[in-house]
Amino acid sequence: VPEGAAPGHTEAVGAAYPELGCLERDETESGHPEPITHPRTAFGISEHHINLTDDALRLCRDALDAVMRIFPTSPIHIGGDECPGHEWFRHGPTRERLAKLGITRPHEAQAWFERRICDHVTGAGREVIAWDEVLESNVPPEITVMVWRDADDLAKAAQLGHDVIAAPARHTYLDHGISTGPQAPVTIDAPLTMDDVAGLHDVMAAVDSPHLLGGQFQLWTEYLRTPAQVEDAAFPRGTSIAEQLWTGEPARQSTVVTAQTHRLAAMGVNLARMRRAQ
């Protein structure tokens, strides 16, 4: 499933096309306007993103059209996460548009944006997936919600009629290190142990709804520079998640997963050793 994140995660768009960002331009000594933004060079949630003008919406639609051509049968993930939205009310043309619409808060502005993006994708006959921030935007119930922030949002989304994918950070974000200490790799956070991963089963079992489609684990790679590092982060925790999702049963004890780890080792996978997960 391809993900084209918007309206957050778009600082690079503002760098490439300053007219589509929210930052104003400064006049230089030469009299030529220069953008005061650049591609993002740090981790964390950016305060900078695309504006809500017709040109910015057109770029988003064009990008999604290209993605839909490349992936002709897949659902389309539109992102929707990590967009503070305060910048919209400091950008003249966007502020004027929002004032005409009677919109006074960032989540209302994002709801307006998401509705247009969702309508574009569904209008092409495609299914839409979005991160759970869109629950604050009152998106239509036909949107599948991928929950990452708060496991309680799984039940909330299902009650609102959304199909739901479980991806709670506390149990499935494998870019978080499996251990801490001087010998552990540098990661965005740690530890997320085999016991933490095992908690996914209880989170999903608490949601009694046919709208719960399944789950996934995340493996963002800001700190993972080589394939070996990716494998170390993914296994054996990813094996535990896969077993839980396929079987519907609780995770097995780490000592029982030994056969799986032997199999991975025989395949040459650079898995994290079980002693680090305990």
pLDDT tens per residue, range 50-97: 999 999 999 999 999 999 999 999 999 999 999 999 999 999 999 999
* Lowest-pLDDT choice from 4-18, 105-119, 126-140, 248-262: 248-262
Predicted local confidence at residue 52, as pLDDT: 98
- 48 versus 137: which is more confidently predicted? 48
Can you list the alpha helix ranges (DSSP code H) found in 82-185? 92-101, 106-123, 152-159, 169-172
Q: Counting Cβ atoms within 10 Å, is residue 147 exposed (0-12), middle (13-18) or buried (19+)?
A: buried
Mean pLDDT of 188-194: 94
Predicted local confidence at residue 175, as pLDDT: 96
Cα separation of 13 and 61, whole Å? 14
Phi/psi of residue 9, nearest 5 degrees: 60, 35
Dump the DSSP string for 30-82.
Answer: TS-EEE------SSS--S--B--SHHHHHHHHHHHHHHHHHSSSS-EEEE--S
Mean pLDDT of 175-192: 92
Cis peptide leading into residue 7 (ω within 30°): yes
pLDDT tens track for 98-146: 999 999 999 999 999 999 999 999 999 999 999 999 998 878 899 999 9
Predicted local confidence at residue 139, as pLDDT: 84
CA distances for 9 relative to 21, 57, 84, 109, 189, angstroms:
12, 15, 11, 16, 20
| Average pLDDT of every residue of the chain | 90
β-sheet bridge partners, residue 130: 145
Residue 268 CA from chain centroid, whole number? 30
The counts of H helices and E strands in the chain are 11, 8
Predicted local confidence at residue 36, as pLDDT: 54
Predicted local confidence at residue 42, as pLDDT: 82
Dmax over Cα atoms in the chain, in whole Å?
Answer: 70
Q: Please, which pLDDT band fits residue 27 given cuts at 50, 70 and 90?
A: very low
User: Quick check: pTM over 0.85?
Assistant: yes
